[in-house]
Amino acid sequence: GAVVSQHPSRVICKSGTSVKIECRSLDFQATTMFWYRQFPKQSLMLMATSNEGSKATYEQGVEKDKFLINHASLTLSTLTVTSAHPEDSSFYICSARDPGMVWSPLHFGNGTRLTVT
């Protein structure tokens, strides 16, 4: 089945630094990837839709300059949390659909737990 790989799985960084999270589709080309944020015991909140070769589409309330998304190739999207603060600590998850299928479920990465100290 289609696999989405997310890296790193855990990262701890100091306040004010930037952190980059990678999301790769391993056996299909993903023109679109999705980034979510999840707080403990809560649901996933869609942050943005990453589009290969064009600007990402951000959901209302998500700061574009804070959460930089780059989708430079058909298999890689990155989310950079800039000038991280403790309130950015969360679980970030990416997903993608396989465009080669008539209908594809969302394939998720295993998530990145970010802790900002």
Partner 1 sequence: SQQGEEDPQALSIQEGENATMNCSYKTSINNLQWYRQNSGRGLVHLILIRSNEREKHSGRLRVTLDTSKKSSSLLITASRAADTASYFCALDKLIFGTGTRLQVFP
Q: Which residues bind partner 1 (CB under 8 A)?
A: 4, 6, 34, 41-44, 46, 91, 93, 95, 103, 105-111, 113
| DSSP-derived secondary structure for 33-88 | EEEEEE-TTS-EEEEEEEETTS--EEPTT--TTTEEEEEEETTEEEEEE-S--GGG
If the CB atoms of residues 46 and 74 are measured against partner 1, the closer one turns out to be 46
**Minimum CB–partner distance for residue 116 and partner 1 (Å):** 18
Residue 84 and residue 93 in contact, taking contact as beta carbons nearer than 8 Å: no
If the CB atoms of residues 65 and 103 are measured against partner 1, the closer one turns out to be 103
If the CB atoms of residues 15 and 42 are measured against partner 1, the closer one turns out to be 42
Positive or negative, the CA dihedral 100, 104, 106, 109 is negative
**Minimum CB–partner distance for residue 93 and partner 1 (Å):** 5
**Minimum CB–partner distance for residue 72 and partner 1 (Å):** 22
**Minimum CB–partner distance for residue 98 and partner 1 (Å):** 11
| Residue that is written with structure tokens 């630094």 in the block | 17
